[in-house]
Structure formats: structure tokens, C-alpha cells
Structure 1
Amino acid sequence: MLRCLPRAPHRPAGPRPPSRAAPASFTAAGRGSAAPLPLSYMVFDGSTPQSPLVFLHGLLGSKSNFRAIARALVQRTGRKLVVAPLSWQVLTVDARNHGDSPHSPTMSYEAMSLDVQRLLRQLHLPKCVLIGHSMGGKTAMTLALQQPDLVERLVSVDISPTESVAVTNFQAYISAMRRVSIPNGIPRSTARRLAEDQLYPAVQASAVRRFLLTNLVEVEGRYMWRVNLEAISQHMADIMGFPVFHMPYPGPTLFLAGSDSSYVSSEDYPEIERLFPKAEIHYITGAGHWVHADKSQEFITAICNFLLVP
């Protein structure tokens, strides 16, 4: 039975349409190619032999989003973390078209799931704990539903297995980023200030602007966005949606959401229970969509508590 603590926010009414890393790449893979890509990732080593934690970031994010969380979890758990006194290994991973991972014109959850599966095989990891935020959460859910034997436990951070169009501003963010124009050869501090000024009319929340600006990079004297805005724009419907699945994931699952966010609503509970029958839903009070940034200690505690449940 679905367990939820505390009570869920109601989504506002509205239409809901049916480092060890690969080298940085700013060129697209072969057009139309659905082959899995070699993802960029960081490893934070823990001391225990348990399955590693693998963090998947959200749309317009990167593996560095979870760096501080990964270090804290290594100290708390001892696990190895792929971005955990226990000690997991933790990994944090750049999705395709994000961070230092290669670019591709293909941008679907099925493709991103295959990328992560390729990474797990490359690292000889027979099983892992998948923790994904937003887009990364949908990627993690897709992988768990496709290959449940690879996923020991699953954590979906502030996202549900439903369409997200009604509650997202990412299309506006992407449009604003595409309009930014920065002269070549200027200091980075000046370039960042100009970019922030140009983003402001569409992105008035300073925390969101700072988040978007983590994608601004200098390449041979030219400033550009390292995230592949073209591919993302073309596939926004796929990114906001979720693939159709009929068989559930049988493993322990935590939906960890922000109480001030509308991305996981009571309207989503039936689909969550259908696909993830062992799911528990927990809302962190005072957190928005970026739960891990808004309430990092509460986020870490919730993850640790979930990992210790038999």
C-alpha cells in the first residue's frame, strides 16, 4: 500500500496534455543515432561493499549538482557514490546533452536509460541504488521499469511517472537561454553578468538564474551553453512526458518531494502505486523543486533512512 508522509499538495488546476569522465564534447553524435553514449561521471569512494548510489541530475543540471550531497553521504553511509559513519560508494553522472557528456540529437528516456545501463556495465556494477532528480528521476524510473534486476532501490526526487507540462517553467528558461548573446573575448565575470542581465526578464528568481548560469562555459574565447539547448528544445514533449509501461518495478521505492512544489501531487498517486507498488512518498517541509539544494540535511537524512529500511 502506498505510504505518504505528510499530506500531499494539490496540483493547481490546468491542462495536463496526454572525475572519471568522458572528455567534454560540444558536437552532436551521429544524427538519429540511438546508440548508448559514454557518460561523464564522478566517483566518491566509500568503504563498504554494498551496491553504489548513482545520482542522476535534472534538466539543465550536471553531475556537480550532487557533489556536496555525495560527499556527505559517503561520510554518513560509507557506500561508494557515483555523483556516500556507514560508507557507500557514490557516483554522480552527467546525462547526455548535459555537463561533460556527449551531445546527441536523440533525447528520450529510453535512450538516457540505455546510457546509464552502459555506464553500469562499464563499471562492472551488477546492481545499484538509483537516485534521480526531475528528468534524472524519470530516467531512473525508466531504467528500473526496463531492467529491475539492475536496481536494488529507487529514489525519485520531486518527480512522478506522469506528464509534467502543467507545472514546469523549463520551456521559458530554455527560450531565455537561447536569446542570450555575449561578445567574444571578454572576462568571465563580465560574461556571466551580461548573461544574467539578459536572463532576468524571463527568469526573475535569482537562485534559478544562478542554476542556469552553471551551464555557461568559455571555449576558445567564445562563451556558450554547454547544455545542448537545440536537442532539448526539439524533445521537450518527450522530456515532459513519460514512457508507457505495463509491468511494475517490484523493488523498494521512495518518492522524495518538496512540500512547496507541485511536481508530485495526490493526482499522481494512482499511477505511482500502479508502477511502483512498494513506493513510499515523503514530503520535505519547506523545500521546493530543488529539494536537495533547499533542504540538504533533511534530504540526506531521508536518503539514509530509506537505505536502512530492510
Structure 2
Amino acid sequence: MLRRLPRGSARSPLPPPAARSAVTAVPLAHAEMGVRGTRPPLVLLHGLFGSHGNFQTVAKALVRRVGGQPDLVERLISVDIGPTSTALISEFPAYISAMKSVNIPAGLSRSTARQLADSQLSSTVQDPQLRQFLLTNLVAVEGRYIWRVNLDAISHHFADIMSFPVFHKPYPGPVLFLGGSNSPYISSKDYPEIQRLFPKADVQFIEGAGHIVHQDKFEDFITAVLNFLPPP
């Protein structure tokens, strides 16, 4: 199902010179797929609880079918998130609480530890695929299993993380908001702000997909992305 709106990604205004001079670059964990060429790259950014490994299968598929992908951002795809606050509809606080409650004895094998954590999360996180996604954050450190994401920091700053800043200048390029039909993260309530900030936006929902769209409906997701990107 495709809904067309007048389209756009807001860009943050540059901070004043004094603030810019205090900014330092931070190295980010990342993975590159394919061979660097003359075309601009296609950049995939994961969401909360994610890591650079989450989109590897998607990235490999796009490299095979697209090759590489000007202005700093030529076009934008927002996957199952709108330019509004999602704190009130998100189930993440419950997931965080459940993850904090997971208790795994030291010395277990990775597979046993994951099975135990999966069982303990199941009463709160009922979707098996979502549990498997969360469990990608379970890592062994000196024989103990811990969450590599900082759950306390996420909890403390959750409202800020799930909010969206106020922008006044719209983004003029083409934008695709690609949501899951079974997810509440993009709704008709978001359309006025989408229209204001992204005047060249299309909104498309993939039937049968939840919040993790690329995992729930992989081929439909790849097809929607390829249809939106310029041809090679």
C-alpha cells in the first residue's frame, strides 16, 4: 500500500563557531560492503539496540543488485519511524526492564546462555524474532554474560532518544518513509509533520511487517528500497 504525500529530512542548522570548535570526531563501528567506486555510497544506519551487523544481509543484497549510490544526502529512506516523538507508543521501556532482569549463571556456553535469556525474556517480549534481535546484544565478558548496550543510560535518556528535534527548514530531496503495516511507529498523525519537513516524501507500508521491517519481509523491503533508489 503506497500513500503519496507532498515530500522531505530536516537538516540541523550549524552550531555557532564557538560550539563547532569544541566538536571532535568520534570513530564509529562500521562495515563496508562492495568496492569503492565513483558513485556516492549508500549508508545504512541502525536503530536503538542495533549494531553495524544488523543490516549486513541487506547491505550484501543491495551491493549485488545496485552497486554504489550528491549535496551531502541525495535522498533518504526512513524505516518505520516518523519525525515525531514515539515515547508514548514504544514498548522499549518494558523490554529494557526485562533485559535488566535477565539472570544468567557464569560459565555457560553461548548457546545455552542465549536459550536461557530467550526464555526469561519471552513473557515480556513475545515476538520470537524481536527476542532474537535483542539477544544480539548479549555478549560474554570474562566468563559472564552482559548486555553490550548501556541499558541504564538508555533508560535515563529514553524520552530524549525517542523525541524528535524541532526543525524549521525542510529537506528538499526525495524521501521514502517505509513502515510496517503491523507497527504503530508511522501513522496518519505523523503526515502533517512529514509534509512540512519532507515536501517530497512518499509513505509506503509493507504488509505483514512489524517494526523490524527488513527482518519480517526481507524481499519486499529490498524491492521497496531498490524501487526508490536511482537506477545504476
Bucket of the pairwise TM-score, normalised by the shorter protein: 0.7 to 0.9
Q: 2 CA distance for matches of 1:56 and 1:47?
A: 18
SS in structure 1 of the partner of residue 75 of structure 2 = strand
CA drift at 1:48 = 4.7
Q: Name the CA shift for 1:201/1:286 in 2 (closer, same or farther; >3 Å).
A: closer
**Given the alignment, which residue of 180, 199, 202 partners 1:277?**
199
1:179 and 2:101 aligned:
yes
| Equivalent AA in structure 1 for residue 207 of structure 2 | T
1:67 and 2:64 aligned:
no
Assess if the C-alpha contact under 8 Å between 1:159 and 1:263 holds in 2.
yes
Assess if the C-alpha contact under 8 Å between 2:87 and 2:158 holds in 1.
no
Q: 1 CA distance for matches of 2:147 and 2:84?
A: 29
| Equivalent AA in structure 1 for residue 86 of structure 2 | S
TM-score (norm 1): 0.65
Q: 2:169 — aligned with what?
A: 247
Assess if the C-alpha contact under 8 Å between 1:272 and 1:279 holds in 2.
yes
Unaligned runs of 5+ in 2: 6-21
Matched residue pairs, number?
Answer: 216
Assess if the C-alpha contact under 8 Å between 2:4 and 2:201 holds in 1.
no
TM-score (norm 2): 0.86
| Equivalent AA in structure 1 for residue 227 of structure 2 | N
**Given the alignment, which residue of 27, 32, 36 partners 1:43?**
32
Assess if the C-alpha contact under 8 Å between 2:79 and 2:179 holds in 1.
yes
User: Which structure features the higher share of strand residues?
Assistant: 1
SS in structure 2 of the partner of residue 197 of structure 1 = helix
Q: 1:104 — aligned with what?
A: none
Assess if the C-alpha contact under 8 Å between 2:4 and 2:202 holds in 1.
no
Q: 1:142-221 residue pairs with structure 2 within 5 A?
A: 149-221=71-143
User: What RMSD in Å do the two structures reach over aligned CA positions?
Assistant: 2.2
Q: 1:86-101 residue pairs with structure 2 within 5 A?
A: 88=69
Q: Deviations over 1:107-128 (max 9, x none)?
A: xxxxxxxxxxxxxxxxxxxx5x
| Equivalent AA in structure 1 for residue 116 of structure 2 | L
Unaligned runs of 5+ in 1: 9-32, 80-87, 89-126, 128-148
Q: 1 CA distance for matches of 2:23 and 2:35?
A: 34
Task: Using CA pairs under 8 Å that are at least 6 residues apart, name the structure with larger relative contact order, 1 or 2.
Answer: 2
Q: Deviations over 1:186-207 (max 9, x none)?
A: 2112211221222122212211
CA drift at 1:60 = 0.6
